[in-house]
């Protein structure tokens, strides 16, 4: 599928989220996994000592994680072994790890629980506001990244389906769809508060642009001489937008768009906006 060229493994996203969660919360143990067909499978771990939890399938309503999947909201227990608010289907692997206090929170994308993140300690102690705030922030960031990846996949599937249905005689429409999606990704990136997630979306936009090149399957992501904002502006110009139209789309002033465009033209050694777009496409920076 075309999306395979753009979407990295979601496993990497979960691992990154768990590292951030452990740093932000101060909890020594962090683990989690994805929900597929309603079942949570624990696959990623930090700070564990045993293998008892690895690959554990948690069904909705069972244990702490199953409660989180079923209710689509965070939950915590201060003493897992004696907690009355959860079932005890998974006591053997949980208590075998020495876990006592544990918190879990869902990763919700478009109203659907896509995963669960846990944080835990090997002591009976309430997990305070620091942990709660960390869970809220990290699950929101992870959900945002998954949502962006989903949208890229969706648009590329539509583009692939349209291309297959229309046959080989319609490459211009496919190219226009790639250009529109590229520009939309640039807009999405600028709306993200998380710098790391914003950088990943911007990198995905460059990889998308590279798909339009004949050698896209074997060439690395191009190195751009342009700043992200210069490329944002140029992506709108490539769609035929005027400076005021580009400004409205990017929430900038028209004068600011003009300044970014002038800088991009200088870096690309272009005398006109059209030459700048052509030069950027030749470098693989625009589809």
Residues written for the chain: 287
Which pLDDT value is given to residue 238? 86
pLDDT for residue 217: 41
Check residues 222 and 97 and name the one with the higher pLDDT. Answer: 97
pLDDT interval class at 199 (50, 70, 90): confident
* pLDDT tens digits, one per residue of 230-283: 988 998 888 888 899 888 888 889 899 999 999 999 999 988 888 888 888 888
How confident is the model at residue 162, as a pLDDT? 65
Q: For residue 89, what is the DSSP state?
A: T
158-192: pLDDT as tens digits: 766 766 665 554 455 666 777 777 777 787 877 77
CATH dotted code for 2-145: 3.30.450.40
User: pLDDT tens digits, residue range 7-48?
Assistant: 677 898 999 999 999 999 999 999 999 999 999 999 999 999
pLDDT in tens, 45-85: 999 999 999 999 999 999 999 999 999 999 999 999 999 99
The reply to whether domains 2-145 and 170-282 share a CATH topology is: no
Q: Give the class (CATH, top level) of 170-282.
A: mainly alpha
Whether the model clears a pTM of 0.75, i.e. scores above it, the answer is no
pLDDT over 70 (residue 222): no
What is the reported pLDDT for 170?
Answer: 43
The residue with greater pLDDT, 183 or 220, is 183
Domain ranges for the chain:
2-145, 170-282
């Amino acid at each position: 599928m075309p999306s395979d060229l753009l979407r990295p493994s979601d496993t990497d996203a979960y691992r990154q989220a768990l590292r951030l969660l452990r740093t932000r919360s101060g909890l020594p143990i962090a683990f989690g996994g994805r929900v597929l067909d309603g079942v949570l499978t624990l696959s990623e771990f930090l700070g564990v000592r045993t293998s008892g939890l690895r690959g554990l399938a948690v069904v909705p309503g069972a244990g702490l994680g199953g409660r989180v999947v079923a209710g689509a909201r965070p939950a915590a227990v201060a003493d897992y072994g004696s907690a009355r608010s959860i079932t005890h289907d998974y006591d053997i692997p949980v208590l075998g790890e020495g876990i006592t206090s544990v918190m879990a929170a869902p990763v919700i994308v478009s109203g659907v629980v896509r995963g669960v993140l846990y944080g835990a300690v090997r002591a009976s102690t309430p997990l305070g506001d620091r942990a709660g705030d960390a869970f809220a922030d990290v699950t929101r960031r992870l959900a945002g990244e998954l949502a962006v990846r989903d949208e890229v996949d969706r648009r590329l599937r539509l583009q692939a389906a349209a291309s297959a249905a229309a046959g080989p005689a319609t490459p211009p429409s496919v190219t226009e769809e790639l250009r529109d999606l590229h520009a939309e990704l640039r807009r999405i990136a600028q709306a993200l508060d998380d710098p790391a997630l914003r950088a990943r979306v911007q990198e995905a936009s460059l990889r998308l642009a590279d798909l339009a090149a004949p050698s896209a399957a074997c060439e690395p992501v191009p190195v751009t001489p342009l700043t992200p904002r210069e490329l944002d502006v140029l992506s709108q110009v490539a769609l035929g937008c005027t400076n005021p139209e580009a400004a409205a789309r990017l929430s900038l002033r028209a004068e600011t768009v003009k300044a970014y465009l002038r800088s991009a033209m200088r870096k690309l050694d272009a005398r006109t906006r059209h030459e700048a777009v052509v030069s950027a496409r030749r470098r693989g920076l625009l589809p």
